[in-house]
Structure 1
């Protein structure tokens, strides 16, 4: 891997906090002095898009927007997303340069041993932390009924039992915060108001945020294409020198972009055709997404911005399985039964998709839980477990970090932990190649269509964005903590 990790210690979390505190304010004037104020980065996440999907689409559609970008950009053929491959750690890899080890964010549904449940008045400590439509004022409304409902947020006993917003849950800063510290304009569009996360610990990273609630759609591919179009219109307004509503003038953002959801929905609801070929639903989602990207590149050209804008196209995560014959649904209740079979009430939180993260009420029982899970390996379709030293090497010690799971369950490829009646045919979150081997294409001004075949990480995007803007990649706390390098250039 190109990402390097520094030696681990029980002081890692405290060290990251110190790095984050030192990241922006003291050096803000210096950052602004060296920034390239005439440059822009448009970042696009096509959630679910595998590296093979991108190469196949480009080969089959040489006149497409993605093919045109590939001809003038650098394609990274072996890029890997975050582990876990959930949307939250996925977007944070792209925008902080870090993994959950430094960011402290494992999933959009996780656990914190030091926080208290919403509405508890902090009478109990240790709670599930959910940052999706569940924290909206009205998840059935496109505007979420006015955004996040603070009454639905976890509480922090150490800070007067105040609500914990997504941005304050994140331990390290984002590219948006670094850009803002340099006096640059920032914007982002995503799928839940909970993408307040990208504001970072300062709470002010994204100057022009647009996060319509995807749960308000009908869940179909067609409905999701229409939903994605709302964000495309917002970004076009920003290219034209207005805010996302189109009603207020603002500078074209230095860092901005959006995510597309239609491909991910098609993968989950319809899946791929045999041998990984595009099904009609995935092909339609890709065609509509490609056309939308083409409209954005055309707008950049019309405004004379294309020669000053770097386009980064990737994915927060992949989707598994691509081969429908590998799909195996396993009742997620089995996980709870096995854990609580070791001792009643032992499971504090299980987050399960095509991976399972387990937090225990007694971390000292982690090895006993692992033994019980192995005893049920056939029923769970188990591949391997991360527990003890193996888990600590990748994520840190759960005994010293309030966020780290006690056990990570990695099932065989194609396994999805869900209810037996579930109709979805794919999911993400896991560590398999289908989950993590994602598209990565960087098309900058004057590129010539190159490829890099060495393994890279999507976490390398964040420092590379800052380098292009003339900012110091080490202004990102996760970059310093984990030794994340900028992306290698094509040859």
Structure 2
């Protein structure tokens, strides 16, 4: 029990001392990785129980289900997916959140002058035009969608250079390994900033199809995330891109290409269904988001989104079958993060900008956890006073646990020497969400609802099995490489953190 609680609170690994052994053969020709953001283990279990004829139920009947899988801490989208594709936690990847801070970077317009240390937000903010679905460029060509003038800067041998998303992650990933072995790779996601999947080499993903989730719904001033229907349509476009790839085309369907050895997509419909309180543009007026009770019974809006995801999975599985690829493809369903709270009675909206008055403050990100950075030039003098401020404000801010700089150093990296590690990490009491009232759930924290996510491996040849052991989503990465016949030790994070492949796999 102590090891489980330590893992949930600090994000440490429970893997064994030795990394997974190299695969001896090539069990599968393809791996299709599907990230369903927000999908808890209980959501998957409930849906299968209540919809025994569903695609999710069918996949579980030919798969290995891990009901006690946990994602990273912090449990945000970037570190959550980084874990699945690198095998590493933020301690080695350097990725703590989508929106974070680096003490060595300079602002986009700074010419690398002045004091270093800035917010690093790799999301819609780096698009050429974040109001447009295509982000102002050409989907399938992320470099046409990203504006270099909006990127942070770093000094490299005295030269001030832009930091592209692929420069940010400190270790390689599964797409790079597969690509380097000659396999084709593809991915579809919610921002062009997911160009970071190219990895440090900059060449990991052959076909990266990204639309902008924070674009405006045509004819309105509402973002895609403000409508259940708009989010389903957003996801449907990514499903179509992957089906094109299954059929032997690129993501746009315009050019013939080999079916990728490693490919997949992210689905956002469930996450929006959990966070959006009521109907938006194009929705049936009576739809309500979130959960009805602590057992995970979905309200009408979330139920529609879950049904959509099941249908989307059916389309993908059907396309694999039609292309005679179902037997040779391992389907991996995972989640970057969960969502908190499930129990609506626990919801406690709290000031979304609570830390700006603390001594030495530089930047924070607060969803249902808080990561806080002090100004590098003021850190030494302000650290003690900042710590006392957080302790004094603990009750008002809903702080359940405060990781001080010394504790962050033990769990991750030392903020005194590492450019990324936060000075403080705040874990909130269950149900606390930093919000101005526009959402009813969030992710990013270390509570069980944030971290206990769905994880399922499926193929027609796999006998159904449920493995109740605690596993980490970092274990997806070495499992993917083993499934394709590659050595997991080709991943730098697997070596550094001794990450094992998932237990109970038939390969």
TM-score in terms of structure 2 length: 0.88
Of 215, 222, 234, which residue of structure 1 is paired with 2:229? 222
Contact 2:59 2:459 in 1 (8 A): no
Deviation at 1:324, TM superposition (A): 1.2
Contact 2:69 2:472 in 1 (8 A): yes
1:363 aligned residue: 379
After superposing on structure 2, the runs of 4+ consecutive aligned residues of structure 1 that deviate more than 4 Å are none
> Residue 307 of structure 1 aligns to a residue in which SS?
coil
Tell me, in whole angstroms, the C-alpha distance in 2 between the residues paired with 1:363 and 1:78: 39
Q: How does 1:228-267 map to 2 (within 5 A)?
A: 228-267=235-274
1:164 aligned residue: 163
1:372 aligned residue: 389
Deviations 1:306-359 (A, max 9, x none): 11000000110000011111111111332222x13xxxxx11111111011001
> Residue 214 of structure 1 aligns to a residue in which SS?
coil
1:348 aligned residue: 362
Tell me, in whole angstroms, the C-alpha distance in 2 between the residues paired with 1:352 and 1:479: 29
Q: How does 1:57-68 map to 2 (within 5 A)?
A: 57-68=47-58
Q: How does 1:194-233 map to 2 (within 5 A)?
A: 194-216=193-215, 217=217, 218=224, 219-233=226-240
The alpha-carbon distance between structure 1 residues 288 and 177, as it changes in their structure 2 partners (threshold 3 A), is same
> Residue 35 of structure 2 aligns to a residue in which SS?
strand
Deviating more after overlay: 326-335 vs 260-269 = 326-335
Structure having the larger proportion of residues in helix: 1
Of 290, 293, 296, which residue of structure 2 is paired with 1:274? 293
Deviation at 1:34, TM superposition (A): 8.0
Of 307, 325, 336, which residue of structure 2 is paired with 1:287? 307
1:323 aligned residue: 343
Contact 1:327 1:414 in 2 (8 A): yes
Tell me, in whole angstroms, the C-alpha distance in 2 between the residues paired with 1:207 and 1:34: 26
Q: How does 1:436-451 map to 2 (within 5 A)?
A: 436-451=451-466
2:39 aligned residue: 49
1:409 aligned residue: 426
Of 455, 464, 467, which residue of structure 2 is paired with 1:452? 467
Number of aligned residue pairs = 459
Deviations 1:276-297 (A, max 9, x none): 2111111100101100110110
What CA RMSD, in Å, does the superposition of the two structures yield over aligned residues? 1.8
Q: How does 1:160-199 map to 2 (within 5 A)?
A: 160-199=159-198
Q: Gaps (5+ residues) in structure 2? A: 5-12, 138-144, 218-223, 277-288
Of 5, 29, 37, which residue of structure 2 is paired with 1:39? 29
Contact 2:27 2:483 in 1 (8 A): no
Q: How does 1:140-159 map to 2 (within 5 A)?
A: 140-146=131-137, 147-158=145-156
Contact 2:192 2:211 in 1 (8 A): yes
State yes or no: 1:423 paired with 2:438.
Answer: yes
Contact 1:452 1:490 in 2 (8 A): no
Tell me, in whole angstroms, the C-alpha distance in 1 between the residues paired with 2:47 and 2:352: 35
Tell me, in whole angstroms, the C-alpha distance in 2 between the residues paired with 1:404 and 1:446: 43
Deviation at 1:3, TM superposition (A): 3.5
Of 96, 107, 116, which residue of structure 1 is paired with 2:86? 96
Contact 1:79 1:457 in 2 (8 A): yes
Tell me, in whole angstroms, the C-alpha distance in 1 between the residues paired with 2:206 and 2:321: 24
Deviating more after overlay: 357-366 vs 35-44 = 35-44
The alpha-carbon distance between structure 1 residues 193 and 408, as it changes in their structure 2 partners (threshold 3 A), is same
Deviation at 1:370, TM superposition (A): 2.2
1:129 aligned residue: 120
Deviation at 1:38, TM superposition (A): 6.1
Tell me, in whole angstroms, the C-alpha distance in 1 between the residues paired with 2:404 and 2:167: 28
Tell me, in whole angstroms, the C-alpha distance in 1 between the residues paired with 2:177 and 2:491: 7
1:113 aligned residue: 103
> Residue 396 of structure 2 aligns to a residue in which SS?
helix
Deviation at 1:64, TM superposition (A): 0.4
Deviations 1:117-145 (A, max 9, x none): 11110112111101000110000111100
Deviation at 1:448, TM superposition (A): 1.3
Deviation at 1:472, TM superposition (A): 0.5
Tell me, in whole angstroms, the C-alpha distance in 1 between the residues paired with 2:373 and 2:206: 35
> Residue 95 of structure 2 aligns to a residue in which SS?
coil
Tell me, in whole angstroms, the C-alpha distance in 1 between the residues paired with 2:25 and 2:374: 46
Tell me, in whole angstroms, the C-alpha distance in 2 between the residues paired with 1:35 and 1:336: 55
TM-score in terms of structure 1 length: 0.91
The alpha-carbon distance between structure 1 residues 264 and 246, as it changes in their structure 2 partners (threshold 3 A), is same
